[in-house]
Amino acid sequence: MRHTLVALVALVSSSATAHPVDEVVQAAYLAIEPRQVRLEFDISPGSAVSETILRDLDRDGDRRITTTESRAYGVRVLRRLPLAIDGIRVNWRLDQVGVPAYGSLAQQADTVRILAIAPAPLPRGGHLIGFTNAYRPAASVVMTNVFVRPAGAFRVGRQERSDDGRLYRVRIVT
């Protein structure tokens, strides 16, 4: 019985960490700072769905992703990632888009990274920050994490996530 339990735990652990070939792993990292919120949004497609991402990135179909194509893609994705502070929508400003080589992305070997900044002057007091991930290129595993910078600048209160990970809210106090 003990050996069966150990084998079952090992099996569950290894399958939970494997990247699914038929899904896109989306990870959003929000860094809350005194005057802005920074976003790092990582998109890691499985090999069975990478073509969907590649078609959206490589609009002319030449199997090369130009800076213009990658920035246009970043803007399109950011439109699907609304941020609200105290119920008021705040627009992202695209900072950078890191796109791996076409072949690397097609083989589930890499990640598209979008960096953006939203102005967010946060006066003293409590604030509710809401983030929605409505980017749906294919079936996805969605994660959102929050960080405060500098450490100790805010007190992080209650955090809420929807069951599918697409809606995230956090209360902070400055």
Provide DSSP, 13-79. HHHHHSPPTTSEEEEEEEEE-SSEEEEEEEEEE-TTTHHHHHHHH-TT-SS---HHHHHHHHHHHHH
Determine, yes or no, domain membership for 118.
yes
pLDDT of residue 108: 76
Determine, yes or no, domain membership for 45.
yes
Determine, yes or no, domain membership for 6.
no
Determine, yes or no, domain membership for 49.
yes
Q: With 60 as the cut, is the pLDDT of residue 13 above it?
A: no
Q: Cα dist. 140→47, 49, 111, 171 in Å?
A: 13, 10, 14, 26
Residue 56 β-bridge partners: none
**What is the C-alpha to C-alpha distance for residues 3 and 111, in angstroms, rounded to an integer?**
37
Determine, yes or no, domain membership for 140.
yes
The HSE-up count of residue 66 (CA atoms within 13 Å, CB side) is 7
pLDDT of residue 19: 61
Q: Mean pLDDT check: name the lowest of 4-18, 58-72, 95-109, 128-142.
A: 4-18
pLDDT of residue 99: 96
Determine, yes or no, domain membership for 10.
no
Determine, yes or no, domain membership for 145.
yes
Q: With 80 as the cut, is the pLDDT of residue 146 above it?
A: yes
Give the residue numbers spanning the domain of 121: 22-173
b/e burial code for range 68-81 (CB count within 10 A of at least 16 → b): ebbebbbeebbeeb
Residue 27 β-bridge partners: 42, 143
Determine, yes or no, domain membership for 129.
yes
Q: With 70 as the cut, is the pLDDT of residue 61 above it?
A: yes
Q: Looking at the 3D structure of the chain, how many domains does it have?
A: 1
**What is the C-alpha to C-alpha distance for residues 168 and 174, in angstroms, rounded to an integer?**
19
